């Protein structure tokens, strides 16, 4: 006999419990990945994604909650892409764009599958020059502050414009675009539809911070959560991804391509 009834739970409780459990699952998965065992973290990420996709059809939940859960499941898939694919065959300078190209492809697949319009995510041509300038002014100090927290070593022996330009392109077109599309354009957008602007902003920012547990630094966890709030606020106020993408990319460029030469450790 085929059971056709779905599991029913009171709507408000259902939304909070479901999304809360997904949050806890992702946090535990990232903690295992960063602090315990990379292989176990990868296995947990795969299991978490499978469980979410298998459980969602059994629950009588509205489309906004389903969308929220399915955007969050992209995060364990993000872990799988960054950690389990054989990136070793690429030269070092191509690893970062290759990894984030895969993440962009993952987001593009989700956008296509859910039939989401690009304008709804935040890709629009409104006030581009203004929002680019805003992103630069916000991102530069964030990058300088983050350098004081994690102090990465310089990637090259001397500062050169060609390396700065390359890192800037990588950080804006791959890292900034990929992470802002995922955490702001998809996760924050969908969480806002379920829990409102305030909790959507907070939830996406906490998730953004948790994904930086790989630095194994509590100050960095706190900083990236706050940076997520800043990027998310820009996303809310400008109603687009231009400012947060530029802020994220510029901040990372200052972090890895400028500050190590200005204040070498």
Question: Which tokens belong to 241?
Answer: 């991804």
Give the mean model confidence (pLDDT) for residues 115-125: 92
Give the mean model confidence (pLDDT) for residues 89-108: 89
Question: In this predicted structure, what is the pLDDT of residue 203?
Answer: 96
Question: In this predicted structure, what is the pLDDT of residue 8?
Answer: 44
Q: How far apart are CA 243 and CA 139, in angstroms?
A: 9
Q: What is the 3-state secondary structure (H, E, C) of the chain?
A: CCCCCCECCCHHHHHHHHHHHHHHHHHHHHHHHHHHCHHHHHHHHHHHHHHHHHHHHHECCCHHHHHHHHHHCHHHHHHHHHHHCCHHHCCHHHHHHHHHHHHHHHHHHHHHHHCCCHHHHCCCCCCHHHHHHHHHHHHHHHHHHHHHHHCCCCCCCCCCHHHHHHHHHHHHHHHHHHHHHHHHHHHHHHHHHHHCHHHHHHHHHHHHHHCCHHHCCHHHHHHHHHHHHHHHHHHHHHCCCHHHHHHHHHHHHHHHHHHHHHCCC
pLDDT at 7 over 80: no
Distances (CA, A) of 74 to 50, 156, 187, 232: 11, 33, 9, 18
pLDDT at 1 over 50: no
pLDDT at 9 over 60: no
Percent of the chain residues past pLDDT 90, beyond the cut: 79
Q: What is the longest distance spanned by two Cα atoms in the chain?
A: 71
**Average confidence score pLDDT of the chain:** 91
Q: How confident is the model at residue 60 (pLDDT cuts 50, 70, 90)?
A: confident
Question: In this predicted structure, what is the pLDDT of residue 80?
Answer: 87
Count CB-CB contacts under 10 A for residue 127.
Answer: 14
Give residues with Cβ within 8 angstroms of 161, minimum separation 6.
Answer: none
First CA to last CA distance, the chain: 68
Give the mean model confidence (pLDDT) for residues 177-206: 96
Percent of the chain residues past pLDDT 70, beyond the cut: 96
* Nearest alpha-carbon partner for 62 in 199, 189, 203, 190: 190
């Amino acid at each position: 006999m085929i059971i056709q009834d779905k599991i029913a739970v009171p709507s408000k409780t259902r939304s909070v419990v479901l999304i809360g459990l997904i949050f806890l699952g992702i946090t535990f998965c990232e903690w295992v990945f960063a602090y315990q065992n990379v292989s176990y973290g990868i296995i947990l990420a795969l299991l978490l994604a499978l469980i979410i996709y298998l459980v969602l059809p059994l629950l009588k939940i509205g489309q906004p909650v389903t969308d929220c859960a399915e955007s969050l499941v992209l995060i364990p898939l993000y872990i799988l892409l960054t950690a389990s694919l054989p990136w070793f065959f690429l030269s070092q300078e191509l690893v970062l764009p290759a990894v984030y190209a895969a993440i962009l492809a993952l987001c593009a697949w989700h956008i296509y599958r859910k039939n989401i319009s690009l304008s709804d995510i935040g890709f629009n041509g409104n006030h581009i020059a203004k929002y680019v300038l805003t992103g630069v002014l916000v991102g530069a100090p964030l990058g300088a502050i983050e350098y004081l927290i994690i102090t990465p070593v310089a990637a090259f022996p001397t500062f050169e414009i060609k390396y700065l330009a390359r890192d800037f392109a990588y950080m804006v077109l791959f890292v900034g675009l990929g992470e802002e599309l995922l955490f702001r354009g998809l996760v924050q957008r969908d969480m806002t539809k379920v829990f409102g602007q305030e909790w959507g902003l907070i939830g996406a920012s906490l998730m953004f911070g948790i994904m930086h547990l790989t630095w194994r630094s509590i100050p960095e966890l706190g900083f990236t959560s706050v940076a997520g709030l800043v990027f998310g606020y820009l996303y809310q106020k400008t109603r687009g991804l231009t400012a947060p993408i530029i802020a994220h990319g510029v901040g990372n460029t200052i972090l890895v391509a400028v500050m190590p030469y200005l204040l070498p450790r």
